[in-house]
A = this chain, B = another copy of it.
Amino acid sequence: MIVIAGVQTPEEHIQAIVEVIEKEGLQAHVSRGSDRTIIGLIGSVEPKLAEHLRQMKGVENVVKISKSYKLASRDFHPENTVISIKGVNIGGGELVVMGGPCAVESAAQIDEIAGLVKAAGAQVLRGGAFKPRTGPYSFQGTGVEGLIMMAEAGQKHDLLTITEVMTPEYVDICAEYADILQVGTRNMQNFDLLRKLGTCGKPVLLKRGFSSTYDEFLNAAEYILAGGNPNVMLCERGIRTFETYTRNTLDLSAIPVLQQLSHLPVISDPSHGTGRRELVVPMTKASVAAGADGLIIEMHTDPDNSMTGDGVQSLFPDQFADLLKDLELLAPAIGKTFHTPSAVSKN
């Protein structure tokens, strides 16, 4: 909620308003503009308080803003958040690419893929150890063993690592082995998990719920931020619509919208966003042109035999490398930078 104090409201009235707010156990953020003064309230506001404030001296209006998030909002944090992890900066001007398999299947598999991911120019290795599966009889991941395999592959090939965490009790172990923790689309409103991630000490990539509005998405981020963890990336990964040709509908407008509403970096996931390998390349480029700060892309050396059955949306290593070379061309045209190692020439 926001209290708007009218033109030339004396300081004592502002103070009185702040006191009333704080007496209710809420925080008041005072922003003095050239004429009006705005007092932002953080916390759950009871209707009675709103009514009371509305009648105080100097109050011009009390606006129940739909933005119930504050820490995630650009209104109170105008500069971009840049998340720095071991020399990689996410949310600055450099494109960050996260690549790898849907699931960590074996030490050899993840090691081979890590080498290819690095050679192509990506900075982060992705791979699921704990897998959320629609049905209870599907492959559920390699668990902690998989975590360790991925950490080793990341270290060997000098890549950051990102992996999904599904339940509060596994946050600590995932935070021990991975550089970035990922919240999947089905867990975007798993509030106990979000709270736990607020204190995990590692950056979090939060995927948008497949039917969540921007407002709900930013409120979910707010749970993590409110817990004390400022390093949250927002990830658009496709929403559910009536169109079933694609697995989801990648909502690229989310990129500029989220960047406008929030200061957090925005990542795009064209793999889940389309569910079809042949669409990953054009939609990766479109994501960059829309202003994405980074990408998370599935790549597999043998997609047709991937253990999760998600191979159909994984790029082959060659496609992945070619795509990153294309991004090297595209990035400057959009005001971003991205470089692939010169070793990855096509000849």
**How far does the alpha carbon of A211 sit from the alpha carbon of B210 in the complex, in Å?**
8
The reply to whether the CB of A147 lies closer than 8 angstroms to some CB of chain B is: no
Chain A residues 231-261 with CB under 8 Å of chain B are: 239-246, 249-253, 255-257, 260
- A84 CB within 8 Å of chain B: no
Interface residue? A214 (CB, 8 A): yes
> Is A323 interfacial (CB 8 A cutoff)?
no
Question: What residues on B are CB-neighbors of A252 within 8 Å?
Answer: 250, 252, 283, 286
Q: Which residues does chain B contribute within 8 Å of A167, judged by CB atoms?
A: 167-168, 190, 192-193
Whether the Cβ atoms of B244 and A241 lie closer than 8 Å is no
How many A residues, CB 8 Å from partner? 74
Nearest CB of B to A15, in Å: 23
Task: Report how far A189 CA is from B215 CA in the complex, Å.
Answer: 21
Q: Given the complex, which residues of B lie within 8 Å of A279, measured CB to CB?
A: 253, 256-257
Question: Considering only CB atoms, which chain B residue lies closest to A47 in the complex?
Answer: B305
Partner of A253, one of B166, B250, B291, B305: B250
Instruction: Check A8 for interface membership: any CB of B closer than 8 A.
Output: no
A42 beta carbon closer than 8 Å to chain B: yes
For A250-286 the 0/1 string (1 means CB < 8 A from B) is: 1111011100100000000000011000110011011
Q: Does A319 contact B (CB under 8 A)?
A: no
How far is B250's CA from A283's CA once the two chains are assembled, in angstroms? 13
Q: Is the Cβ of B168 less than 8 Å from the Cβ of A169? A: yes
Q: Mark A103-142, 1 if CB is under 8 A from B, else 0.
A: 0000000000000000000000000000011111111000
Report the separation of the CA atoms of residues A231 and B47 in the bound assembly, to the nearest whole angstrom.
40
Chain A 218-233 interface mask (CB, 8 Å, partner B; 1/0): 0110110010000000
Contact A189 B132 (CB under 8 A): yes
Chain B residues within an 8 Å CB radius of A245: 213-215, 257
**A152 at interface, CB cutoff 8 A:** no
Chain B residues positioned under 8 Å from A44 (CB to CB): 135, 137-139
A330-B289 contact in complex given A43-B137, A211-B210, C-beta closer than 8 Å: yes
List the 10 closest pairs (A to B, CB-CB), nearest first: A211-B211, A289-B289, A286-B290, A167-B192, A186-B189, A68-B135, A285-B289, A256-B282, A286-B286, A135-B219
- Tell me the A residues contacting B by CB distance below 8 Å: 42-44, 47, 68-69, 132-139, 166-169, 186-187, 189-195, 210-211, 213-216, 219-220, 222-223, 226, 239-246, 249-253, 255-257, 260, 273-274, 278-279, 282-283, 285-291, 305, 329-330, 332-334
